[in-house]
Amino acid sequence: MLSVTNLHVEVGGKPILKGLSLEVPAGEVHAIMGPNGAGKSTLSYTLAGREGYEVTQGAASLNGEDLFALEANERAAKGLFLSFQYPLEIPGVPSLTFIRTALNAQRKARGEDEIGAPAFLKLAREKAASLKIDFDMLKRPLNVGFSGGEKKRMEIFQMAMLSPKFLILDETDSGLDIDALRIVSEGVNDLRSPERGMLVITHYQRLLDYIKPDRVHVLAAGKIVASGGPELALELEETGYDRFSQVAA
């Protein structure tokens, strides 16, 4: 599914990722943990195609498709979704309008028919109910004046509506209280399927109590320095990242 090989990335001329390799097969959830400044967000931005993240070496593919040959929107149409750590506010654009525009842009890129309004609204009502989102909120401009928790819930809602093939969750747990964390995690778990892969980027083990990973990787100083089963996350919680920082250095 997702395959990253020897990835080197510079931001503003400064090397951040220094030979990162990663394989996430379909149907699996992998967690990436690591200290501040390890390059976690750089990895998610690079995979999603943000400008200013310069790939100097290495490759990444999704279902065999070379990601770096595609624009950000083309990657989205191929099924890559990034849930942002800090979702942006889009003034004047109602949430539903935004999502429908995005969905139809993706469908068009894939050569599919646009989704009609009735079918779209029906789907939106279903997904909103399961994420406990008030339908009226979807008529408000996207994320404008939303609380941190509401913004994160909206990310998961968008994800559910767009039904991507591969999800990257960048610090989805930050800024969430315990109830919101539970709702968001349930939303993510509902999307788990044998065809779908997920990369969960997080600081803390807490989120992984709710979204159980198949594999855990430790990212330090621009590389994966350790990989293991879910127990690795618990271990990290006790011992911290210090020993890995030393390994990387």
Partner 1 sequence: MAAVKKTIDQVEQLETYEHGFVTDIAQDFAPRGLSEDIVRFISAKKEEPEWMLQWRLEAYARWLQMEEPDWAKVEYVKVDYQNLYYYAAPSQKVGPMSLDEVDPELLKTYAKLGIPLREQEVLAGVQGAPRYAVDAVFDSVSVVTTFKKELAQVGVIFCSFSEAVREHPELVKRYLGSVVPTTDNYFACLNCAVFSDGSFVYIPPGVRCPMELSTYFRINAQETGQFERTLIIADKGSYVSYLEGCTAPQRDENQLHAAVVELVALDDAEIKYSTVQNWYPGDADGKGGIYNFVTKRADCRGVRSKVSWTQVETGSAVTWKYPSCILRGDESVGEFYSIAITNGRQQADTGTKMIHLGKNTRSRIISKGISAGNSSNTYRGLVSAHAKATGARNFTQCDSLLIGNTCAAHTVPYVEARNASAKFEHEATTTRLSDDQLFYVMQRGLSREEAVQLLVNGFVREVLQELPMEFAVEAQKLVAISLEGSVG
| Nearest to partner 1 of 17, 82 (CB atom) | 82
Which parts of 152-191 interact with partner 1 (CB under 8 A)? 158, 162
Binding mask 47-76 for partner 1 (x = CB under 8 A): -xxxxx------------------xxx-xx
| Nearest to partner 1 of 95, 205 (CB atom) | 95
Q: Which of 97, 180, 179, 103 is nearest to 144 (CA)?
A: 97
| Beta carbon of residue 222, minimum distance to partner 1 (angstroms, whole number) | 22
Which parts of 86-145 interact with partner 1 (CB under 8 A)? 87-88, 90-93, 98-99, 101-103, 105-106, 109, 141
| Beta carbon of residue 78, minimum distance to partner 1 (angstroms, whole number) | 10
| Nearest to partner 1 of 74, 186 (CB atom) | 74
The residues binding partner 1 (CB under 8 A) are 48-52, 71-73, 75-77, 81-82, 84, 87-88, 90-93, 98-99, 101-103, 105-106, 109, 141, 158, 162
